[in-house]
Structures are given as structure tokens and as C-alpha cells.
Amino acid sequence: MSGPLAPPRVRLATLPTPLQPAPRLSEVAGVEIWLKRDDLTGLGLGGNKVRGLEYLLGDALARGCDHLVTGGGPGSNWAMLAALAARRHGLRATLVCYGDEVPAVGNAALAVLAEARLRFTGDPDRASVDRVVEAVAAELRAAGERPLALGRGGATPVGALGYATAAVELAGQLAATGVGPASFWLATGSCGTQGGLHAGVAWQRLGGVVGVTVSRPAPVCVERVTALARGVADLLGVPAPAAAPTVVDGHLGPGYGRRSAEGDEAAALVARTEGVFLDPVFGAKAMAGLLAATRRGEVTGPVVFLVSGGAPTLFTTS
């Protein structure tokens, strides 16, 4: 990948991640499904956020930053991986969590193990994280530190470059296996992963990307993905995607961060057919969306499904 504005990159992930056929799952679904195993990216317990962190940390180091400030929920995969990436490169890390202070378990415990500092907003509104991240960064600057403040999910054009790069990786794997053109399905939360993949898939002319929203209403996701994809295209020096992004609604279940019955059913199917675990917050709900679409006859395949990681939430999410 090249481009005059492309930021520096540090290596965090074990790449390429496998692209695996899922024959027994495909038989049940009635369409050809392949699994892109980004749960195996290598940092910590793996996950899709590692790709974006390669660019975000590269940018931070190039700026001379010494402290990363970001956040999410207490169980955030993003926040834990961001803390690990920062600590691996010698930066301090502060993670801001919405709500009242709770014991550090799951991802929060793993972040504390890496000596990240946790701070709680005292407000159950998820948007409170972004406000307090900026406040913490201001405090650190006043104390003479050089913080990099990142919003939830690292959903910036720089962070989304990770999945534009992944599209190049996928292009090589699909060519080697003779698969394509394909549709790419994934969970969409903060929209950075879909934004990068939307730009990268259009750039590489691979097919279409379908996000299953697990957080925001679909129209909001479409706006965010569009803006992020345009930002990524600008960084790459390539045309922005001509087509609008596709985001599927209706699979949120009881709410963000909570497991759903159809998601649990989809995750159990993938576990017993392919021996792969999907986290209940993102991957399981996205697979439920894909399976529902196949039952309606809306998907012809081949499909590449992004397994985005999140293993710690398998044990902590109710």
C-alpha cells in the first residue's frame, strides 16, 4: 500500500490471517461460506482492532506521543487491545469506561494486567466516554505529557486504513483459492472496520461489503461508513467508493453489549460445525444476520465472513 498521506505503521499483527473454507456451515446455510480468521491477529487474544492499531500507534509514535487515552465499556475489546498495543511500544495507557466503577474482569482485567489505568465516567451514556477521553487528555497535556486521544473503536480514517490493507491481503487469498467475486459480511459497531473494508474492497474490485449493525441505527452507520471510506480513500490516493455502503438492521437483540437468542444460536452452529467461536456482542449477531439473509434467499455466495475476535467476552457477557 502506498499514498502520499499514508501514516507510518508499526507491526502488531500476525499476518496474513487464514481464510478458511467452512464446508459444514455452508451446507447448513445453503451458500458457500469462508471464514476470515481475524480472531487470530496475534496481539493479546487477537481481534480485528489490531489491524487499525498498527496505523494508529504508528501515527502516535511519529507524533512523539507518550500516553494513549481511549475507552469504551468495561468489557471493550478495543480498549484492551489499544492498551496492549500502547504498552508494547512503551506508551502509558488510560482507558475511560462509561458508567460507575466496577471490578476489573474480562477485558478490563487484561488491560490492568498490562498496567493500564482505568477511569469511569459515572454516566451510563456511552457517549460520555468520548467527552472524558478529551478531558483526560487535556489534564495530561497540562501535566507535561503528550497524549494521543482516540474515540471509541479507533474509528478514524487512519484507523480504518487497517482494513483497506486487509482488502489487499484478501485479494491475494481469493485469487489463490479461486474464490470470487465475494460478498463480505461483518459486524458493524463504531464503523471503522466496515469503513476501511468498504474502501479497500472497492479499490481492489472484490465485491460488496455488508455490515450487520450491533450498535447504532443502520442509517447512522451508513453515514459513518461513507465518511470513513472517503477519508481512507483520500489517504490512499484512490477514488472513494461509488456505491453506498450496505448496513443490515434488526439483529441488535436486547441492546448493545448484550447477547441475543438468535446470536447465541448462530454462534452455537458455527462452534459445532467449524470449531470456531464467535463473540456474543459482535460476531454472533453478524452471523445471525447472515443466516437470516440466506434463509430469505438474499445471498448467493460465495461469502467471506469476518471473525472479528473478542474471546474474553465469551465468559463475561450476559
Please say if 76 is a catalytic residue.
Answer: yes
How do residues 208-239 score in pLDDT, each as one tens digit?
Answer: 999 999 999 999 999 999 999 999 999 999 99
- Quickly tell me which residue has 454462534 as its cell: 267
The reported pLDDT for the residue numbered 259 is 92
Q: Measured between alpha carbons, how far is 286 from 164 in angstroms, rounded to an integer?
A: 20
Q: Which residues of the chain have pLDDT under 70?
A: 1-6, 317-318
Catalytic option among 2, 26, 76, 215: 76
The reported pLDDT for the residue numbered 318 is 62
How do residues 124-137 score in pLDDT, each as one tens digit?
Answer: 999 999 999 999 99
Q: Measured between alpha carbons, how far is 266 from 40 in angstroms, rounded to an integer?
A: 20
Q: Measured between alpha carbons, how far is 20 from 136 in angstroms, rounded to an integer?
A: 42
- Quickly tell me which residue has 490512499 as its cell: 236
Cα separation values, 84 from 90, 151, 171, Å: 10, 17, 29
The reported pLDDT for the residue numbered 305 is 98
Amino acid, res. 46: G
Please answer whether residues 23 and 33 qualify as being in contact, where contact means their C-beta atoms are separated by less than 8 angstroms. Answer: no
- Quickly tell me which residue has 473478542 as its cell: 310
Domains of the chain (ranges plus CATH)? 19-48+156-314 (3.40.50.1100), 49-153 (3.40.50.1100)
The reported pLDDT for the residue numbered 181 is 79
The reported pLDDT for the residue numbered 7 is 73
What's the pTM? 0.95
